[in-house]
Amino acid sequence: MDIKEDLRERATVVETQRPWSRFAVDADGWRRSILAAAQGSATMVGLWSDGGAIYMALAEEPASELVVVSLACPDAHFPSVALSHAPAQRLERAIADLYGLVPDESPDTRPWLDHGRWGLSHPLGQHQAVAGEGAPYAFRAAEGAPLHQIPVGPVHAGIIEPGHFRFAANGETIVRLEARLGYVHKGIEALMAGAPLAEACHLAARVSGDSTVAYATAFARAVEAALGISVPERAHWLRAIMAELERLANHFGDIGAICNDASFSLMHAHCGALRERVLRCSGSLFGHRLMMDMVVPGGLARDLDHDGERHLTALLADIRLHFPPLVRLYDSTATLQDRTVTTGIVKAELVRQYGAGGFVGRASGRAFDARRSPGYAPYLALDLDIPVRHEGDVDARVRVRMDEVDQSLSIIEQCLGRLTREPVRTDLAPGRLAAESREGIALVEGFRGDILVWVRIASDGTVACCHLRDPSWFQWPLLEAAIEGNIVADFPLCNKSFNCSYAGHDL
């Protein structure tokens, strides 16, 4: 790995981070890392802080590992990444809001998560009490005689999460969209700090409810890496089964919802039924329809019984019977495709620059999937195709997800065939804790894309610091690009085809 070789010569390896190395760099090393991301020789997959330093995770695709670089910020300043690499903008603004670290020469100094309503500034840094009445937000101007603005949200018309969209439109055509997020910011990183592992795991499982298995797995894997714990093989197979059930449920729900936004409610009804059957099966197998709190550091909180395997096999057969006709229905409905084809196109170059994961990236030619690269157990031992399309429109995003349904079914089947008989949990005995603090990092593929979790565990076994980066951070900005030149009426359709997380992004 080029960056790693370069860093070995110039930077200090921090030994406490597992499984991938962290390099403590100086300002020059920091700028070289920014350059690597900006020039495209590496993809920036995360940017975060613990208050004392700033961290950047990079991947050289296809990546077998991530590289983390960190820069100490004793004077609370750091060279802005966003100045040369736009995907860092909102992450940098969030760091400035939460920690009070200043990105020098940042191109956008507006607050992001901080709406001026917390009653304090820099809650995770040197905080001070401030007025909490809210601050006005300066949206980017789009001016000219024919333009008008359409403000939408934060409370939306459907049963969805809150966020604000500001459209500048010329008649029906959208000239600019700017999103304002942060409405559901709950202060999760602050709640994590000092929390015992079990409590922190509950929080991780509630970062984004639709990805609870993926988040809990990412958190558990980071903790297990930090503490050097190996998980029983059976737990790996079962985690994958749960993760794929979660993916299926979300894909069914969203494929139906996208079609519904194009006024084709028949698909919505059928897909909704499939989703419900997946949730009911998950509920009967694991005692929770969304499988919340099943994945824990060390393994699983609950095992699957013999009956469970039978139910799963029946579910797979049920889906294989009922889903293909729905794909054919989608294929043969011209009025539906009239809405989805060529709508909301994301260019391949943008997807690459932003390192956009999930179906957003894969529908625009970026064949990245964390299950394969860097890869983790048990996926490296499984047959898995990564469906990729190049059109980048709503239709491509739908079709990638349809293809992923087939892959998930195959993965569950493969896992069922290899289930070993053994316990599903390794005890996190206190003896495993080291005298010094340890760091762990993990990249896990949720239904929406790759979730990054970085955790530092204190010597007393509590979480000292934890950062959870939702895939949406690198997808939300692309929605703004995708919608340009489309009509206002197609926004719900485009938005649903992205289905970015508000909760996961706002933390």
Partner 1 sequence: MLAELATRLAAVGRRKLGRSLSIREVDAGSCNGCELEIHALNNVYYDVERFGLRFVASPRHADVLMVTGPVTHNMRQALERTYHATPDPKWVVAVGDCGFNGGVFAGSYACVGGVSAVLPVDLHIRGCPPTPIALLQGLIALVESCSEGR
Binding site residues, partner 1, CB under 8 A: 115, 117-120, 123, 132, 134, 154-155, 157-162, 182-188, 190-191, 199, 202-203, 206-210, 212, 253, 269, 272-273, 275-276, 279, 283, 289-290, 292, 501-503
Give me the least distance between CB of 4 and partner 1, in Å please.
36
Give me the least distance between CB of 373 and partner 1, in Å please.
28
In what helix (H) or strand (E) does residue 507 lie, and over which residues does it extend?
Answer: none
**Residue number with CB closer to partner 1 (210 or 490):** 210
Give me the least distance between CB of 96 and partner 1, in Å please.
16
**Residue number with CB closer to partner 1 (12 or 462):** 462
Distance, in Å, from the CA atom of 302 to the CA atom of 366, rounded to the nearest integer, reads 36
Give me the least distance between CB of 273 and partner 1, in Å please.
5
**Residue number with CB closer to partner 1 (69 or 465):** 465
**Residue number with CB closer to partner 1 (136 or 430):** 136
Give me the least distance between CB of 212 and partner 1, in Å please.
7
Peptide bond into 154 cis (omega under 30): yes
The pair of three-digit structure tokens given for residue 173, joined into one six-digit string: 């055509």
Distance, in Å, from the CA atom of 364 to the CA atom of 352, rounded to the nearest integer, reads 9
**Residue number with CB closer to partner 1 (19 or 116):** 116
Give me the least distance between CB of 378 and partner 1, in Å please.
26
Give me the least distance between CB of 326 and partner 1, in Å please.
14
**Residue number with CB closer to partner 1 (43 or 208):** 208
Handedness of CA 351, 354, 360, 361 (dihedral sign): positive
Peptide bond into 423 cis (omega under 30): no
β-bridge mates for residue 440, sequence order: 18, 455
Nearest to 140 by CA among 497, 480, 398, 406: 480
Placement of tokens 């983390």 in the chain: 68
Distance, in Å, from the CA atom of 167 to the CA atom of 179, rounded to the nearest integer, reads 9
**Residue number with CB closer to partner 1 (278 or 388):** 278
**Residue number with CB closer to partner 1 (48 or 368):** 48
Report helix angle 233-261 to 394-418, nearest 10. Answer: 150
465 Rama class: left (phi>0) / alpha (psi -120 to 50) / beta: beta
**Residue number with CB closer to partner 1 (13 or 269):** 269
Strands lying side by side in the sheet with 53-59: 12-14, 22-25, 67-72, 53-59, 43-49
- Residue 70: which residues within 8 A CB-CB, separation 6 or more? 14, 22, 23, 24, 25, 53, 54, 55, 56
Give me the least distance between CB of 239 and partner 1, in Å please.
19
Give me the least distance between CB of 415 and partner 1, in Å please.
24
Placement of tokens 């239904």 in the chain: 447
Q: What are phi and psi of 29, to 5 degrees?
A: -60, -35
**Residue number with CB closer to partner 1 (266 or 381):** 266
Give me the least distance between CB of 118 and partner 1, in Å please.
5
Give me the least distance between CB of 321 and partner 1, in Å please.
17
In what helix (H) or strand (E) does residue 57 lie, and over which residues does it extend?
Answer: strand 53-59
The contacts found for 180-183 with CB under 8 angstroms, 24 or more apart, are 180/137, 180/139, 181/112, 181/113, 181/476, 181/502, 181/505, 181/506, 182/112, 182/113, 182/114, 182/115, 182/506, 183/115, 183/154, 183/502, 183/506
**Residue number with CB closer to partner 1 (239 or 268):** 268
CA angle (202 as vertex; 227, 381 as ends), nearest 5: 55
